Amino acid sequence: MERGGAMVWSVIIPAYNEAERLPAYLREVVLFFEGRGEPYEVLVVDDGSRDATGDRVRELERSFPRLRLLALPENRGKGHAVRVGMVNARGAFRLFADADGATPIRELERLEPALRAGADVVIGSRALQDPAVRVRAHVHRVVAGRVFNWLVARLGLAGIADSQCGFKCFRAAAAEDLFRALRTDGYGFDVELLLLAQRRGYRIAEVAVNWVDQPGSKVRVLTDGPRMLWQILATRAGYPRQRRGGARGRTER
């Protein structure tokens, strides 16, 4: 891994009305990276929150100089917020993580070996089996997730067990390329992102991570699920079945 004065890690956390849940996770993130001794930054992208999310982050900025708030004037969606964070980040490795802390930041240590081995994109997974990993989720979300990923596979995203886990890491070059091309603003952005990565030949690794369902989820299965599928269908129609000029990207587990 790269050390020295150059920025090594960027953590992007999209947030919409997360004044209650976000501060504890931000403290966890900062404590984790302070113990590593590598240059890092934490970017919170406030996606037009109507609560005190921005105020809470500004308060923490006084204590955590590596923390930076990017406040958007209006709510555009999670995909847009993550894109803004990724293109404004400076790290050689760029992770986005959900504000609720469902995936502990220490799970980054599970993603690192794949990065060291040369993967361009490493995604956390709640679907892969690993005896050292525990996923605690409500049954209806597990079922909905399996159905969603089955449908997504039929639409062209092959070889990915869990497209929607909000814990994904990118090499800087891959992040710049993929997020500048991303068009989906809403929750369906993960699928477009992975479709792009496959078609552009990036090496993708999927790794099982610990995950605990958190109260207050912004995703509603019955309303957001169909909306996400519609976003994916609209995006999928704009992509050829194979990337230009070569083979598809590989997904490793």
pLDDT in tens, 84-98: 999 999 999 999 999
243: confidence class by pLDDT, cuts 50, 70, 90: very low
| Residue range(s) defining the domain that contains residue 71 | 1-101
The per-residue pLDDT for 19 is 97
Same domain, 192 and 248: yes
Same domain, 130 and 234: yes
Same domain, 4 and 62: yes
Same domain, 140 and 253: yes
pLDDT tens per residue across span 156-206: 788 999 998 999 999 999 999 999 999 999 888 999 999 999 999 999 999
Q: Please state, in angstroms and rounded to a whole number, the distance separating the CA atoms of residues 189 and 195.
A: 10
Around 228, how many Cα atoms within 13 Å sit in the side-chain half-sphere?
Answer: 24
Which CATH number is 62's domain given?
Answer: 3.90.550.10
The per-residue pLDDT for 252 is 82
Same domain, 142 and 197: yes
Candidates 131, 129, 209, 133; CA nearest to 165 is: 209
The 8-class DSSP code of residue 61 comes to H
**Would 10 be classed as within a structural domain?**
yes
Global pTM value: 0.85
**Would 110 be classed as within a structural domain?**
no
> Helix 189-199 vs helix 172-181: angle between axes, to the nearest 10 degrees?
120
**Would 172 be classed as within a structural domain?**
no
Same domain, 140 and 57: no
The structural domain count of the chain equals: 2
Residues with active-site annotation: 190
Q: What is the mean pLDDT of the chain?
A: 87
